[in-house]
Amino acid sequence: MTADHTPSRNCYLRGCRQKACIDVSSRYTKQLRVEHERGHYRLTDATQTRHHIERLMAGGWTQRQIAQASGVEAASIHQICVGAQEKTAKWRAAAILKVPLTAPPADTRRVDATGTRRRLQALRVIGHRRYDLAAALGITADRIKHITNGHTKYVSPAEAATIARLYRRLSVIPGPSQQTATIARNKGWHGPLAWEAIDDPACEPETGYRSRARRGSRPAVANVQRIAELTSAGRTAQQIADELGCHKRTVTRVRSRLTTRNLGEAA
């Protein structure tokens, strides 16, 4: 036995044949045999434990978070979750069942995907194709699809930041595909001009329009160029909003984006 070697049954099962590990494994086997002869078993049906894991995951927990909260190895959590283990150790089941059905703990390595999803949807609404976005972001088109369709609840901070940067650049530039824009609108997605606080899950998109001259018609999804032209002509935000059939604050937001982009280009 060395200073960094702690005798254990697991070590023995991994192939260690030092005398200390052999002795530990032998004592374990003898004790287990005695317990079975007395009708005491260390395993229990895993159904209830699996259902508890499923309820936690439905509430936003990850298997890694469940493992950290319960002290059970993540591999065991996974095996129980997928039904690979019909029985599990009683101590393991008890530890998992003690994890409360509350909101998951904060995970600094993942962030809520709401803003990221809305940004990708908004870019699709103005005609940017999924494969073009994937190429610009350096991720797969399938990853874009999963986030955009809401199949992904969390993304990494780096991924969220990368998509936000691309959004700031492309949200004022119409994409090349009218088919993409039509499909996105038919799915009920909203363009960049609809969001006042795109990262706020409680924020509702602006879907009403004021212009009486254009009542009943669908305004342009993001006619940024026209807003820029009317601004240069000295029109007020309210005048532009009335003409284009959108909210005044939508015009204000577009002007702000245009100013930010021009400053960036000048730098």
What is the phi-psi region of residue 73: left when phi exceeds 0, alpha when psi lies from -120 to 50, beta otherwise? Answer: beta
| pLDDT of res. 108 | 65
CATH 1.10.10 range(s) for the chain read: 210-267
- Give the integer Cα–Cα distance in Å for 156 and 196: 23
| Tokens (6 digits) for 184 | 């996105």
Rg of the chain (C-alpha set): 28
CATH code, residues 210-267: 1.10.10
Could you read off the pLDDT of 137-181 as tens digits, one per residue? 988 888 898 899 988 888 888 889 899 999 999 988 889 999 999
On average, the pLDDT of the chain sits at: 81
Residue 208: the pLDDT is 52
The mean per-residue pLDDT over the stretch 30-59 comes to: 81
Class of CATH domain 122-199? mainly alpha
CATH 1.10.260 domain position(s) in the chain: 122-199
Asked if pLDDT for residue 202 goes beyond 80, the answer is: yes
Residue 2: predicted pLDDT: 47
Taking the C-alpha atoms of residue 235 and residue 231, their distance in angstroms, rounded to an integer, is 5
Q: Tell me the pLDDT band of 201, cut-offs 50, 70 and 90.
A: confident
More confident residue, 112 or 41: 112
Instruction: Quote the pTM value.
Output: 0.48
